[in-house]
Amino acid sequence: MRLLLADYSAPEIGDLFEQLELDEQLKILRNLDIEDAVDIFACLEIEQQLALMSEFRQERAVHFLQEMDPDDRTDLLQRLPDEAAQALFEKLPEEDQKEVSELIRYEESSAGGIMTTEYACVPSDVSAGEALEIIRSKHEDIEMSWYVYVVDDEKRLAGILTLQKLLLNPPDTPVEEFMMPHPIKATHDMDQEDVAREMVKYDLLAMPVVDYQDHMLGIVTFDDVARVIEDEATEDYELFGGVIASDETYDKASIWGLVKERLPWLAILLLLGSLNEFVVSYYAGKIDLGLMAILTGFFPMVQSTAGNAGTQSAVIIIRGIATGEINYRAIGLVFGKEVLVGLALGLLIGLLAFARVALFNHQMRLIVSVVAGSTILIQIFFSTMFGALLPMIVKRIGLDPATMSSPLITTTVDLLTAAVYLNMAIIVSHMHHM
């Protein structure tokens, strides 16, 4: 078994595990060295890890937990049933228990919740040679040694240096002479999205996590940030699509689970969409029946164009907020740009709609062309502004902008488009008969 898997990396074997039954996965893990087995185990989705842990004998489960990185160990214990987690926790060595107790205090979505306590750290009063000796003596307890963190006597973060600098400097050079002071850092309660954004912005492989007094607590590594970025992007995509975010993957989700994710928004949108009937009923007696019949044929074109303009605008702004390119202070800039963009798009698409409807061979084509073109001009302008400013307002009050889902924006714009379209029909037809 070991020879068969020797040519594959742990992540590759982890991908293959998804195609195997649980008993086959257990058989493979039992026939590997504990270090290799844990490397593969760490690459699996949390649901697979939980399923395997439930089949392990307690002694083996504890052995796996001991070999795992502190942050991954804590995440797994938090997902296990309380009774099982407590039983395993009590079997862990005292040092591992202390690490779990420390990490579990932090919010799961904060820097403290995703950090690891295994990092390279040296006192500020040592030389390059002494620092290397410290790192060598602790290498088994260091998750990533590329960055070496320098702390003072009270374990406050004083600076940072790379392993490369440590190796290139003469052994008797004090680390304070070539360390970088005031490194980029995160407080323990910083949101994981903000941590990920900062690490991408400054091209960091890891970021130190400190308390409010700058005491070193741990580090967030890039593999954790990659998961955060993927999870947050998935959640935002689902929310914007009008789906309640779920931790389950599609292949593991039940039919009823998928129904529950989609049902609430569809029900809300059904009720909102039904308001169209009141709008149409209100204006039905005020418009000539012949004109109303023709207008009805072009209404889907007008409605969908306006709704899509709002969605386009919202996507651009939500992405800008997510990447940090746009914040609430830029609302004036966004407003100014979207006014011009909305007017330009409204004029161009409105003229296109006028020309398209004018080709319709009917005695009322001038009225219908003006109604369709003017409605599209007004509604593209409005929906562009609505789609851009709404996510910024929602972000300002502390909510996730992605909750302003595409179906919600489209349905709201559709409702207003119906009112504007029929109002324009009344106004233009009256002007035509004057």
In tens, the pLDDT along 272-318 reads 777 877 777 777 767 777 777 788 888 888 888 888 888 888 888 88
- In this prediction, what percent of the chain has a pLDDT beyond 70? 89
79: nearest Cα among 39, 38, 117, 108: 108
Residues near 406 by Cβ (< 8 Å), separated by ≥ 6? 240, 241, 242, 311, 314, 315
Map out the domains of the chain with their CATH numbers.
2-105 (1.25.60.10), 113-228 (3.10.580.10), 274-432 (1.10.357.20)
Q: What CA dihedral angle connects 409, 414, 417 and 423, to 10 degrees?
A: -140
**pLDDT at residue 403, as a whole number:** 61
**pLDDT at residue 241, as a whole number:** 62
> Position 163: which residue type?
L
Note the pLDDT tens digit of each residue in 354-373: 988 888 756 677 888 888 89
122: β partners: 150
Beta strand residue intervals within 173-235, DSSP E: 180-181, 186-187, 206-210, 216-221
Note the pLDDT tens digit of each residue in 60-93: 888 889 888 888 888 889 888 888 889 998 999 8
CA geometry: angle at 180 spanning 176 and 184, to 5°?
135
**pLDDT at residue 286, as a whole number:** 74
Single pTM value for the model: 0.62
**pLDDT at residue 211, as a whole number:** 94
Rg (the chain; Cα; Å): 30
- Which of the residues in the chain have pLDDT under 70? 1-8, 233, 235-253, 285, 323, 361-363, 400, 402-406, 432-434
Please name the residue ranges forming H helices in 247-405.
255-273, 275-284, 289-323, 331-358, 365-396
Structure tokens at 283: 């204006």
Residue 262 burial (CB count, 10 A): 14
Classify strands 157-162 and 144-151 as parallel, antiparallel or unpaired. antiparallel
Beta strand residue intervals within 169-237, DSSP E: 180-181, 186-187, 206-210, 216-221
**pLDDT at residue 409, as a whole number:** 78
Q: Quote the CA–CA distance of 189 and 197 in Å, as a whole number.
A: 15
